[in-house]
Amino acid sequence: MSKIIVLIGAPGAGKGTQARLLEERCDIPQISTGDMFREMKNDDTPLAKEVQAIMNAGGLVSDDLTFQIVKNRTDREKDSYILDGFPRTAGQAEMLETLANEQNRTIQVIEVDIPRRELLKRLTGRRSCPVCKEIYNIYFKPPKQENVCDFHPATQLTHRADDNEASVSSRLEIYDEETKPLIDYYQRTGRLEKVNGEGDLETIYQSISRLI
Ligand code: AP5
Ligand code: MG
């Protein structure tokens, strides 16, 4: 039976980095709600503007809109896929149970665990390529040439609008209140596995891919 692989963890834990590696090396699609919402940035609609404002402030987009986007995107998948950044609330977790039933897939949850002290540098140091979405970090994973994508030498890297100290603190607070309880829920229902998100990317990748 194909699976829905949920990567769960605090902002900056490395979900996106690892999901991208899994997609590249194992051919399992990465479906990131954060990336899908960021893609709405250039839409000139009131809804898109509202989403941008919520994200920039480090809040959560409504469960209904988030689920609608996830459902539309995942219904066309034929095999297993990775959810990066969904679910984040109890309501979303419930919606995911229904979706998994409808799609005849099992849910596997992998927590990327990382100490709080590591996160600020990861987030404030993050840069990404607007073309290929490659994720860099000025402290831990710098591009070969300063502020330029390794794969798109004509492209300057960008800094996410929500990677400032005020938004990060709100994102962490919401994570603790809304998302962390889901880890206990998946633990209780026997679907949680945990990897240490600290250390080098390859070691973490090996721990995750072994579980899949
Ligand atoms: P989203 O884009 O999902 O942001 P997030 O959950 O805050 O997580 P991040 O993307 O910040 O972290 P990550 O774990 O992917 O880390 P990364 O691999 O980049 O969501 C953004 C916003 O969208 C939300 O705040 C909300 O507004 C909205 N949203 C999204 N989903 C939603 C939902 N379901 N419901 C409602 N609203 C939703 O790594 C971080 C940095 O660390 C990078 O620089 C990387 O190079 C570096 N790094 C990674 N691994 C390592 C390592 N092992 N060692 C050193 N550095 C590392
Ligand atoms: Mg991410």
Query: What is the DSSP annotation of 115-145?
Result: -HHHHHHHHHTEEE-TTT--EEETTTB--SB
pLDDT given for residue 167 in this prediction: 95
User: CA 81, CA 186: separation in Å to the nearest integer?
Assistant: 18
Is 85 contained in some domain?
yes
Query: What CATH number is given to the structural domain containing 40?
Result: 3.40.50.300
Q: Do 81 and 29 form a contact (C-beta atoms < 8 A)?
A: yes
Ligand 1 mean position, distance from CA 77 (Å): 23
What SS3 class is residue 71?
A: helix
Both tokens of 31, joined, read 């479906």
Q: Do 56 and 161 form a contact (C-beta atoms < 8 A)?
A: yes
Bridge partners, residue 5, by sequence: 82, 108
Averaged pLDDT for residues 169-182? 97
pLDDT in tens, 118-143: 999 999 999 999 999 999 999 999 99
Beta-strand relationship, 126-128 and 135-137: antiparallel
Question: Residue with structure tokens 């987009």?
Answer: 61
Residue with CA closest to ligand 1 atom 5: 11
pLDDT given for residue 144 in this prediction: 97
For residue 205, pLDDT beyond 90: yes
Is 147 contained in some domain?
no
Is 146 contained in some domain?
no
Per-residue pLDDT band at 42 (split at 50, 70, 90): confident
Both tokens of 108, joined, read 């596997």
pLDDT given for residue 183 in this prediction: 98
The count of structural domains within the chain is 1
Is 121 contained in some domain?
no
Is 124 contained in some domain?
no
Averaged pLDDT for residues 58-62? 97
Domain that holds residue 36: 3-115+178-211
Is 155 contained in some domain?
no
pLDDT given for residue 102 in this prediction: 97
pLDDT given for residue 21 in this prediction: 97
Is 165 contained in some domain?
no
CA triple 125-144-22, angle to 5 deg? 70
Both tokens of 212, joined, read 């899949």
pLDDT in tens, 63-120: 999 999 999 999 999 999 999 999 999 999 999 999 999 999 999 999 999 999 999 9
Residues with CB under 6 A from ligand 1: 9, 11-17, 33-34, 37, 54-55, 58-61, 66, 85-86, 88, 92, 122, 125-126, 135-137, 140-141, 162, 171, 201, 204
Ligand 1 mean position, distance from CA 46 (Å): 25
Is 28 contained in some domain?
yes
pLDDT given for residue 1 in this prediction: 86
pLDDT given for residue 41 in this prediction: 85
